[in-house]
Amino acid sequence: MERTVVGIDDTDSATRGMCTTYLAAVIAEHISSFATVEDRLLVRLNPEVEHKTRGNAALALHVETDEPKRVKETVVEAVEENAVFDDEKTNPGVAFLRGEPSDALAQYTREAVREYKTQEEARRIADENGVLVRGWKNGRGVIGATAAVGASRAFDDWTYELLVYRGEEEWGEQRRVSWDTFFDAHNETFPRTWDTVDEEKGEVVAVPAAPGPVVYGLRGTFGGVWDANAHVEIEEAERLAIYRTNQGTDAHLVDARACEVEDGGSYRVEGTVAEAPETREGGHVFFAVEGETGACLRCAAFEPTGRFRDTVRRLREGDRVVVCGSVSDRTLKVEKMRVVSLVRTERVKPTCCGRRMESAGRGQGYRCRNPDCDKTAETLVEESVEREIEERWYEVPPSARRHLSMPLVRLRRSPRHETV
């Protein structure tokens, strides 16, 4: 028996159903009739790639087999039968590797999460690292399929997603699920699972709105998602798949200075609030952070981030923060932020006779406004300011979370991050 790693990407359509995770589950079932599927990976790639359908997912199956040729034929046949070829944006790709991925391939995978890759580069890397690729239509899917093949060696932090699917006749229909049971699942298994529900809003997050095959997806540790699933009740399910995934790991974030960030990348940047938050049309909140070199980075908490914007609005000029998120249009879309230190005092005019003094003229200090009082002061005084925000991490609500973004419930336990 030997190992064959299969990568699959870009088979689905935003409007006509299908989902590459579903197709991978179907393919895994076919392969299981003659070989052993040892591992299933759901790999999230660069979230800023503009031609993605939804979450820029690519899939990998690790197969132990004596019949690698049959594995290939099974995959190609399933893609040809199921991919949504008549969607202009669907350009499937598959990749096959005999044996384990090389370091160079793993490096390519990490870059595909953080950078933009061309099809030429994907094909070159594949060629140099023993990966056979096949693309359909414009062939773009080989970029993600190649990255999926290198994923098992690319990351050292993994979470799990358990997905339950419905049959094709149900796609586009209302999902018949018992909504309350998702709250039970959450209550019984959080923090081993996360993003099942939004407790504050009382909403279920695990059930997507898209018309496709996914009924729900549970995210967490391996044991957590199984335990949570035991609580969920739904009317009909066709199949279940559990994937090891780089979701919720911050694999996309690169530590950078404000002057280094570029459109299309995702970063963790420390700086000082240089422009206080301002709410603009549509409810989006903007502020600016200044790095050591004096470069300013515009940051945004967009309307869908909901109550996270209330936190952002409480920032003041001079506060020290770490902001995490992807950059487009020279703006970092904040996924989470650490308040490192807060401005606790401000310089204000002194008070006299119950009111703030007024300026006595340029360079002449301040005088009391009461005509019967002749008190004066030379300088401003320091006064403490009430802050409604604390020195700790804050994050967007579960409904606004990006797939790769590490929820705080994980971050607190991660040795790679300074705790709150």
Interface contacts to ligand ATP, rule CB under 6 A: 9-10, 12, 19-20, 45-46, 49, 51-57, 91, 93, 112, 115-117, 140-141, 143-144
Please say which residue, 319 or 335, places its beta carbon nearer to ligand ATP: 335
Please say which residue, 42 or 396, places its beta carbon nearer to ligand ATP: 42
Please say which residue, 242 or 259, places its beta carbon nearer to ligand ATP: 242
User: Residue type for 84, please?
Assistant: V
User: Residue type for 192, please?
Assistant: R
Rounded CA-CA distance 11/90 in Å is 6
358 membership: H or E segment, kind and range: strand 358-359
How many CA atoms are closer than 13 Å to the CA of 253, on its beta-carbon side? 27
Task: Work out how close the CB of 344 gets to ligand ATP at its nearest, in angstroms, rounded to a whole number.
Answer: 43
What six digits make up the tokens of 144? 């993600």
Please say which residue, 138 or 181, places its beta carbon nearer to ligand ATP: 138
Of 12, 25, 97, the residue nearest 57 (C-alpha): 12
Q: How many other CB atoms are there within 10 angstroms of residue 390's CB atom?
A: 12
Strand order in the sheet with 376-377: 358-359, 366-367, 376-377
Task: Work out how close the CB of 50 gets to ligand ATP at its nearest, in angstroms, rounded to a whole number.
Answer: 9
Please say which residue, 112 or 241, places its beta carbon nearer to ligand ATP: 112
314 close to 389: Cβ distance less than 8 angstroms = yes
Task: Work out how close the CB of 264 gets to ligand ATP at its nearest, in angstroms, rounded to a whole number.
Answer: 9
Task: Work out how close the CB of 161 gets to ligand ATP at its nearest, in angstroms, rounded to a whole number.
Answer: 12
212 close to 220: Cβ distance less than 8 angstroms = no
The residue number whose beta carbon is nearest to ligand ATP equals 144
Task: Work out how close the CB of 112 gets to ligand ATP at its nearest, in angstroms, rounded to a whole number.
Answer: 4
Beta strands (DSSP E) in 179-265 are: 193-194, 197-198, 203-204, 214-220, 239-245, 253-256
Task: Work out how close the CB of 143 gets to ligand ATP at its nearest, in angstroms, rounded to a whole number.
Answer: 3
Length of the chain: 420
200 SS3 class: coil
- Helices 179-189 and 222-229, packing angle to 10 deg: 140
Of 318, 327, 315, the residue nearest 267 (C-alpha): 327
Task: Work out how close the CB of 314 gets to ligand ATP at its nearest, in angstroms, rounded to a whole number.
Answer: 34
211-to-181, 189, 214 alpha-carbon distances in Å: 22, 28, 8
Please say which residue, 14 or 381, places its beta carbon nearer to ligand ATP: 14
Please say which residue, 74 or 266, places its beta carbon nearer to ligand ATP: 266
Of 256, 291, 296, 257, the residue nearest 271 (C-alpha): 291
Please say which residue, 108 or 366, places its beta carbon nearer to ligand ATP: 108
Task: Work out how close the CB of 217 gets to ligand ATP at its nearest, in angstroms, rounded to a whole number.
Answer: 11
Please say which residue, 140 or 410, places its beta carbon nearer to ligand ATP: 140
Task: Work out how close the CB of 54 gets to ligand ATP at its nearest, in angstroms, rounded to a whole number.
Answer: 4
398 close to 198: Cβ distance less than 8 angstroms = yes
Backbone angles phi, psi at 108, to 5 degrees: -60, -40
